[in-house]
Chain A
């Protein structure tokens, strides 16, 4: 595997995992601050165990698939997934969709946790457990998907898993230190960058799997990345202009 691909694999998995971990942290913090930490932390542990089992079970199984077929399937999945991330990031950057607000999500989670039936003084608080388990599992599934597809297509699952684990550890450590949602993390910018990387690798591997011989071989990935970044920047600029033009005259001033 070329070193450049290894670096891109690490960065993509690290940032994709980090941004999902920030969202999961908000959910766990909201319920933990209001109802206590024991049950949500057990929920986090249970969800992490399920996710680890998924990677351990599916990772080796993917190695049995021929590389050409694997890259076609992985390329198709990464394209669909990456385009969804890009679509949302472009809509947010151009103002057509509200930016994700971890502070607002935190306050909403706190209100829900406070208004639900109170926890028993001793024993498991199943509300907290379920909210934390579900939040971490759902956010974590996207991470597992990226780790498995990237790791399998590059034949380097351990590097992808290490990058994901490192991102989760960094976010968890910061969360423990600040004990509040990480509102200053530029989530949309990170999702934009990860969406670009997922889509670029999707184009490259999907094309290879379908029989393409890329001009410049592995270097083509950088060309695809630059091309897509330029197209997305132009789309954001165009959509911003259209949104402003559609506003009433006094709002434009």
Chain B
């Protein structure tokens, strides 16, 4: 059981990394993009914007904790 947990923790750390909010921001951006695209609305702007917002939020948290 401990090994399974360690295996899961390794892959979580490998893929998600230091800040889970990055993965959450990406998931939200892709979800909204899919939603708009499937209603035939312009959706190309969503992901670039989501990337910038995710990066700003994550960097804000990181820099606040080091001050």
Known: A207-B33, A211-B43. A83 touches B51 (CB 8 A): yes
Set of chain A residues within 8 Å of B37, measured between Cβ atoms: 210-212
Question: Which residue from B30, B51, B56 sits with its C-beta under 8 Å from A210?
Answer: B30
Nearest Cβ on chain B to A124's Cβ, whole angstroms: 25
- Asked if A75 CB lies within 8 Å of chain B CBs, one says yes
Q: Would A207 and B59 count as touching, CB distance under 8 A?
A: no
Q: A210, A227, A232: which contacts B33 (Cβ < 8 A)?
A: A210
Alpha-carbon distance A230/B17, docked complex (angstroms): 24
Q: Which residue of B lies closest to A246 (CB)?
A: B67
Nearest chain A CB to B35 CB, angstrom units: 9
- Which residue from chain A places its CB closest to the CB of B27 in the assembled complex? A76
B51 CB contacts on chain A under 8 angstroms: 79, 83, 199, 203, 228
Task: Determine which residue in A96, A203, A235 has the highest number of CB atoms from chain B within 10 A of its CB, and name it.
Answer: A203
Chain A neighbourhood of B9, CB < 8 A:
none
**A96 close to B22 (CB less than 8 A):** no
Verify if A101 is at the interface (C-beta below 8 Å from B).
no
B3-60 residues with Cβ-Cβ distance < 8 A to A are: 14-19, 22-23, 25-27, 29-30, 33-34, 37-38, 43-44, 46-48, 51-52, 54-56, 58-59
- Majority SS at the chain A contact face: helix
Contact-size category for A: 35 or more
Q: Does A87 contact B (CB under 8 A)?
A: yes
Whole-angstrom distance from the CB of A83 to the nearest CB of chain B?
5
Interface pair A80/B23, CB less than 8 Å apart:
yes
- For residue A83, which residues in chain B have a CB less than 8 angstroms away from its CB? 22, 25-26, 51, 54-55, 58
**Complex CA–CA separation, A55 to B44 (angstroms):** 32
Contacts of A213 in B (CB 8 A): 44
Residues from 47 to 101 in A contacting B, C-beta threshold 8 Å: 72, 75-77, 79-81, 83-84, 86-88, 90-91, 94, 96-97
Q: Is the CB of B63 within 8 A of A91?
A: yes
- A80–B15 CB distance below 8 A: yes
**Alpha-carbon distance between A203 and B47 when the two chains are bound, in angstroms:** 6
A224 contacts partner chain B, Cβ-Cβ < 8 Å: yes
Taking a contact as CB atoms under 8 Å apart, the answer to whether A227 and B44 are in contact is no
User: Is A244 interfacial (CB-CB < 8 Å)?
Assistant: no
Instruction: Give the one of B14, B16, B37, B48 with max A CB within 10 A.
Output: B48
Binding site for B on A (CB under 8 A): 72, 75-77, 79-81, 83-84, 86-88, 90-91, 94, 96-97, 141, 199, 202-203, 206-207, 210-215, 220, 224, 227-228, 231-232, 235, 239, 242-243, 246
State the B residues within 8 Å of A (CB).
14-19, 22-23, 25-27, 29-30, 33-34, 37-38, 43-44, 46-48, 51-52, 54-56, 58-59, 62-63, 66-67
A-B contact pairs, 7 of them (CB 8 A): A76-B26, A83-B25, A83-B26, A199-B51, A210-B33, A212-B37, A235-B55
